């Protein structure tokens, strides 16, 4: 049971940022995308309730782009926030602390542990893999084209299957 706001996933990733000297907006985009893909492959449903788009520099979740673009290439210094009109205050989106979301937190933790140390270039190369979802959806000069969730699911299912097979050898 996932379908979380991307800001809640990004905030969970940011909870780990001190161990990695902070994450830039680019890194948050790619780590959120990786968590979404692995969760989808493992649990059969999307992690986030938003569309991933194929932009020039890879898969992008527009909500996160707009939330963190002010940081440019520098580490993000605050959590993502949502405005709550009823109160007039901002709140920090979080993953609910219920057993239903333990799988989401586990996948996010594993993605951060596995990929959080990668450089921008390494994350770029990983998410621009030939034949991958971004590569298949991206068209030069077209802004905001959706990457179909089925492409993401199938691609990450292949990664999971490949990893399982290599461990069995």
Name the burial class of residue 81, with classes exposed (0-12), middle (13-18) and buried (19+) by CB atoms within 10 angstroms of its CB. middle
| Residue 43, both tokens | 């649990």
Q: What is the number of other CB atoms lying within 10 angstroms of the CB of residue 97?
A: 9
Count of structural domains within the chain: 1
Alpha-carbon distance of 153 to 150, in angstroms, equals: 5
Residue 25: inside a domain, yes or no? Answer: yes
In eight-state DSSP terms, residue 131 is T
**Tens-place pLDDT, residues 15-45:** 987 777 789 999 999 999 999 999 999 999 9
Residue 163: inside a domain, yes or no? Answer: no
Residue 89: inside a domain, yes or no? Answer: yes
Taking a C-beta distance cutoff of 8 angstroms, is the pair 79, 22 a contact?
no
Residue 123: inside a domain, yes or no? Answer: yes
Series of mean pLDDT values for 10-residue runs along the chain (169 residues) = 88 86 94 97 94 95 97 94 92 87 92 95 94 94 91 94 58
In terms of residue numbers, what domain contains 110?
6-158
Mean pLDDT score across all residues of the chain = 91
Taking a C-beta distance cutoff of 8 angstroms, is the pair 46, 104 a contact?
no
Residue 12: inside a domain, yes or no? Answer: yes
| pLDDT number for residue 69 | 97
Alpha-carbon distance of 155 to 160, in angstroms, equals: 9
DSSP 3-state of 132:
coil
């Amino acid at each position: 049971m996932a379908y979380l706001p991307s800001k809640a996933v990004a905030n969970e990733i940011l909870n780990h940022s001190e161990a990695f000297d902070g994450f830039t907006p680019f890194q948050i985009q790619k780590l959120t995308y990786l968590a979404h893909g692995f969760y989808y492959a493992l649990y059969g449903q999307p992690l986030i309730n938003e569309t991933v788009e194929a932009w020039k520099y890879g898969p992008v979740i527009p909500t996160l782009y707009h939330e963190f673009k002010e940081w440019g290439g520098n580490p993000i210094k605050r959590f993502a926030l949502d405005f709550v009109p009823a109160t007039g205050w901002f709140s920090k989106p979080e993953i609910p602390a219920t057993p239903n979301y333990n799988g989401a937190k586990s996948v996010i933790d594993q993605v951060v542990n596995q990929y959080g140390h990668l450089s921008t270039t390494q994350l770029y190369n990983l998410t621009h893999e030939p034949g991958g979802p971004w590569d298949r959806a991206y068209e030069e000069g077209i802004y905001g084209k959706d990457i179909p969730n089925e492409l993401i699911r199938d691609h990450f299912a292949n990664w999971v299957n490949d990893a399982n097979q290599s461990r069995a050898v």
